[in-house]
Structure 1
């Protein structure tokens, strides 16, 4: 979840919004401080003008104040109730007499959303002096903040909307991996993700065509192989009982089993069929592999410790058969030794070391031949590696003290072990 691109984009925009909020909060604090200072200056100027107007008669005072840009209103109680305190604190730079008057309430500095008021509560009659349009707060910071916030949220929504088809893409790929059936996305958009989706649709369509061709090819091959076997089995009843007939019966049975085995191996290696996992006895797998290879006594030496492995027993018998067959073909003495240590099973054979370019990766490639052998198709180790991978086991190779060792580590990393 921590690697999700959606989470990263969300965190990026969240951090951007928080940073923007902090920035606008600092700006608002600064503008608020400047606003308070401006009100202090305007109130100070108004109070100074009022002090100058004290000697004048009421009529002359009104004219004097109006000449300086102020207006006078009747301090009606209903009007006073709608006003707010103009200054948060009494400025220290005000004259001491004015500070005392403010503290005692003889003078009140008030405001509303637009105007600044000085209310002389003890004047006769009480006087309310107004300085118009100096208490307005600037609205552009809030408007800018809302505009940027809406823009960021809109941009976030557009990006997420653009990336949302990725979830459809992931779902289609996951569904194909689990079920083997690909559902085309058929995106009609024109962005890069849509291009990837259409490319994937085309690739999967070609892959489905190749898979179908492969299945048809294998079906035809199996049919062609089964036909002579069926004909041979139909002819068996007409043969006299004897050693030759018994050999043919066993040979036909082995060939039928081999074909069924190849079909199952192909299904597992292609991912069309999951291994039927159960507990398997390695010694029984070795005996079955020897039977499939028609090996006599003394060719295979097996040392097992009785530890069972969790695998598809039928298919693992094929793996053992191919590893034994490979060890015998390339052994200098025609023998193979199998040693089991817990979940590790190693197939040893003596022989000369291989060239440096003959690595495990190259050896398990299909149709690879280390030695020219007219009886080998180069598929044995490829089938082994494919089946091992299907079981989530590990195949290793090493050469030491004149012996080759192909080792199977029968520990499934997807299954918890004690």
Structure 2
């Protein structure tokens, strides 16, 4: 689970746990320090009370009692109202009686008081020194620790910001945006990665532009002589030679069209113009561009509407039907279609490899030398652009290529 968590989430988790740990540590420390203070003060007050009771054995005067209290740095409370409030409302924490007399320790509003009683003496005394536990120091230390922790968190998050920016640009690039710009002014590891990735994007863009320029120039240069050659072939009197040349030039023209379609589908400017259309409209256009004779295909279709680019989807169906007829012993294909899927069915042996092998450009089986290996690649690409899926199945001697619509 830890391996799947993002770096940012991991850092946030670590700092939250550290923040909780520091807060709990100081809270526990404050509580323990307060308890330690109360215990120490109580012991001190017990010692003062015992000593004062012993001193009262000699019936000292008020001035003598003051001298004794000053020795212990204590003071006598003369306010009768406060004495009354302490005795009646304060919380007694200790009561001791011995042969010397009795004393009690009270806690009123976190202040400790000693009440000593012996014969005619009733003394309410309090420590004249401020022995408050080190709450201010502890809070200051806790505040400093938290400030350091939050500062480290802020610095680390700022340090990782270029990594988050780089991740966004990589996602854009993986989605087909080759115009991303990677900028980094740092010389650390993240800056080095950003610079390397930026150089790789520039290199890929240069190669892509070179490829596109080569493809366009090649197709343009080949299209004109092939067209001229087809016209010249029409003038030949030898039927066999004319048909052979026409077939060869037609195949060359088909290859150029396939390359043009591949160039279009892999271009950064490829757009799918989806519209709500009927399947019959797409099928009619497919038959037209494939120039199929009625005996080559059987259609079992109930018309339905779908969102598709008519031109692209027609090319995909045309390629599937062409493959079905070309590699079928009886040179016949069946098309079935509904709202969920479109199936192209034909007799034949099963594919030698998995479907993914044939959807790579220029992939063919050895026995299938008649072709350029782009048909299924084009079909899969068009299906993916529509959000559809191309699948294959072989059952009872029949090959079925299906485009799953939903």
Sort the TM-score into its range (normalised by shorter chain): 0.7 to 0.9
Please state whether the residue corresponding to 1:53 is helix, strand or coil.
helix
Report the CA distance shift for 1:206/1:65 in structure 2 as closer, same or farther (over 3 A).
Answer: same
Query: Hey, what does 1:299 align to over in structure 2?
Result: 296
**Alpha carbons 1:75, 1:119 under 8 Å: kept:** no
- Equivalent residues of 2:392, 2:400 under 8 A apart: yes
Q: CA deviation at 1:6?
A: 3.2
* Paired residues for 1:214-233 under 5 Å: 214-228=211-225
Question: Which residue does the alignment assign to 2:361?
Answer: 366
| C-alpha spacing 1:253/1:408, structure 2 compared with 1 (3 Å) | same
- For normalisation by structure 2, the TM-score amounts to 0.77
Structure 2 counterpart of 1:31: 33
- Residue pair 1:337, 1:347 contacting (<8 A) in 2 also: yes
- The offset of 1:265, in angstroms, is 4.9
* 1:11-410 pair list within 5 angstroms: 11-54=13-56, 55-65=59-69, 69-71=71-73, 89-95=91-97, 98=102, 130=127, 132=129, 134-137=131-134, 141-176=138-173, 180-228=177-225, 263=260, 265-355=262-352, 358-410=353-405
Q: Decide whether the 8 Å contact of 1:111 with 1:117 is kept in 2.
A: no
Structure-1 separation of matches of 2:259 and 2:323: 17
- Give the Cα separation in 2 of the matches to 1:127 and 1:265: 101
Counterpart for residue 12 of structure 2: 10
CA RMSD for the aligned pairs?
A: 4.1
The Cα offsets for residues 328-370 of structure 1, whole Å up to 9 and x where unpaired, read as 1211111111111322111111112333xx1101111111112
Q: Write the deviation string for residues 257-310 of structure 1: whole angstroms up to 9, x where unpaired.
A: 997886455333344312111134333333333332332220011111112221
SS in 2 for 1:303: strand
Q: Could you say if the C-alpha distance between residues 253 and 372 of structure 1 is closer, same or farther in structure 2, counting changes exceeding 3 Å? A: closer
TM-aligned CA deviation for residue 221 of structure 1: 2.0
State the TM-score, normalizing by the size of structure 1.
0.75
Which residue of structure 1 lines up, in the alignment, with residue 246 of structure 2? none
Shift in CA distance, 278/359, structure 1 to aligned 2, threshold 3 Å: same
Q: What runs of 5+ residues in structure 1 fail to find an aligned partner?
A: 240-246, 412-418
Deviation at 1:255, TM superposition (A): 9.9
The alpha-carbon deviation at position 53 of structure 1 amounts to 2.0
Deviations 1:99-140 (A, max 9, x none): 5x767xxxx98998xxx8768899999886646465453655
Whether contact under 8 Å (1:73, 1:128) holds in the other structure is yes
> The residue matched to 1:90 in structure 2 has which SS?
strand
Question: Is the contact between residue 340 and residue 404 of structure 2 (CA under 8 Å) also seen in structure 1?
Answer: yes
Secondary structure of 1:164's aligned partner = helix
Larger proportion of strand: 2
How many residue pairs get aligned? The number is: 379
Shift of 1:91: 2.1
Cα distance between partner residues in 1 of 2:349 and 2:176:
45
| Cα distance, 1:393 vs structure 2 | 0.6
